[in-house]
Amino acid sequence: MPEIRNYTLNFGPQHPAAHGVLRLILEMDGEVVDRADPHIGLLHRGTEKLVESKPYNQSIGYMDRLDYVSMMCNEHGYVMAIERLMGIEAPLRAQYIRVMFDEVTRILNHLMWIGAHGLDVGAMSMFLYAFREREDLMDCYEAVSGARLHATYYRPGGVARDLPDTMPQYEASRFRSKSQAAKQNEARQGSLLDFLEDFCNRFPGCVDEYETLLTDNRIWKQRLVGIGVVTPERAMQLGFSGPMLRGSGIEWDLRKKQPYEVYDQVKFDIPVGKEGDCYDRYLVRMEEMRQSNTIIKQCIEWLRVHSGPVLTEDHKVAPPRRAEMKGDMESLIHHFKLFTEGFCLPEGEAYAAVEHPKGEFGCYLVSDGANKPYRLKVRAPGFYHIASLNEMVQGHMLSDVVAVIGTQDIVFGEVDR
């Protein structure tokens, strides 16, 4: 009999199942993982340090690039920290727009997750379906901000501009016939809200489709049920938040428990898991997509009948309208000061947390009264989830490591910052 020894396996950083640039040092006993040592930081860009040398508004774009699949939720955490420190509030319409886009972002994120998670575990077709729907939502991003991913749409005191009345259209080309373009443009004839409403009516059917593919799929269940079980007590100890915490059976959602913006005005439920395994977390996220869909619908209804400003009228924080600036000395000064120097925050510190698709995304902002943050700490949910990887995979097979990484919904932009 040959002697069997433990050996060390290097996984990543260039591995499709590593979700970016995760390097894992795995100590294996045969095919069973003894210890996993994640090495992170390969995508560390020093966002928190860069932010310290720029005025507040110039850093909103950095927030998009933290968790690059849930862009607007990151911005939300950052602008909320600024707003809390300044004591300003966004107009009601802006709050509804923010909630709507937070939920659009949640669906975007969960679609990315289900696609990647499916791909990791061997369900190739999930990826294609998920990206079909993502396309529509990214068009909403584009319509409202001009960018499909890194929107930079939220501002301290509201959002950059109001919802557009038209949607971008497809054009016929060598690759897209006229009739095909016309078909794709069918839903895009009205405003953004019309397009999004059409999406919301379609989307529950799409989630049903995903569920037919996965929920009772024998292979899917074999790969997920009973894998990476975390007890509720342990989940709290490990600093879990979001679907990871709810998957372990703790009913905790900042949107309900510490409501911000207008989350206390909309109706939705919090799905909670029972077993705390990968399959439960899958079910929780699937239900979250349905719930987000209903929130978006409620926001659309409200936004259709209520108009109003979307950015605060306080010109010490938000610039005046361009037309005003051209004719009014006061506005010109405000405009000049805002774009050359920015605004100063009162001295103090604030921690603003939002229910990000991955968990609690918090921004801890220390200000010494300057026009730049003295210190910004981003509390990224994924950071704490990946930290627990060792504990979650111990005793599991190598192939389950991939399932656990998938269920943690890791994105390296926010883990490394």
Structure tokens at 407: 């269920």
Among 28, 32, 92, 366, the residue binding another protein under the rule CB under 8 A is: 366
360 belongs to the binding site for another protein (CB under 8 A): yes
87 belongs to the binding site for another protein (CB under 8 A): yes
Which of 205, 243, 214 lies closest to 115, judged by CA? 214
405 belongs to the binding site for another protein (CB under 8 A): no
Among 146, 164, 239, 249, the residue binding another protein under the rule CB under 8 A is: 239
Smallest separation, CB 366 to another protein (Å): 6
| Start-to-end CA span in the chain (Å) | 49
226 belongs to the binding site for another protein (CB under 8 A): no
Residues 54-83: x where in contact with another protein by CB under 8 A, - otherwise, as a string:
xx--x-------------------------
**Amino acid type, 365:** L
Residue 229 CB neighbour total at 10 angstroms: 16
213 belongs to the binding site for another protein (CB under 8 A): no
Instruction: Output 149 or 370, the one with its CB closest to another protein.
Output: 370
Q: What is the DSSP letter of 367?
A: E
Smallest separation, CB 102 to another protein (Å): 20
Smallest separation, CB 228 to another protein (Å): 16
- Reduce the DSSP state of residue 183 to 3 states and report it: helix
Q: How many residues bind another protein (CB under 8 A)?
A: 60
Smallest separation, CB 237 to another protein (Å): 5
Cα–Cα distance measured from residue 180 to residue 68, given in angstroms and rounded to the nearest whole number: 31
Among 196, 353, 392, 405, the residue binding another protein under the rule CB under 8 A is: 353
Smallest separation, CB 254 to another protein (Å): 10
Among 85, 230, 318, 403, the residue binding another protein under the rule CB under 8 A is: 85
Radius of gyration, CA atoms only, the chain: 23
194-197: list long-range contacts, CB under 8 Å, 24+ apart.
Answer: 195/136, 195/139, 195/140, 195/143, 195/167, 196/100, 196/104, 196/140, 196/296, 196/300, 197/297, 197/300
Cα–Cα distance measured from residue 297 to residue 104, given in angstroms and rounded to the nearest whole number: 11
Phi/psi of residue 391, nearest 5 degrees: -65, -35
What are the residues binding another protein (CB under 8 A)?
A: 40-41, 44, 46, 48-50, 52-55, 58, 84-89, 236-239, 241, 250, 252, 257-258, 314, 316, 340-342, 344-351, 353, 360, 362, 364, 366, 368-372, 374-375, 377, 379, 383-384, 387-388, 416-417
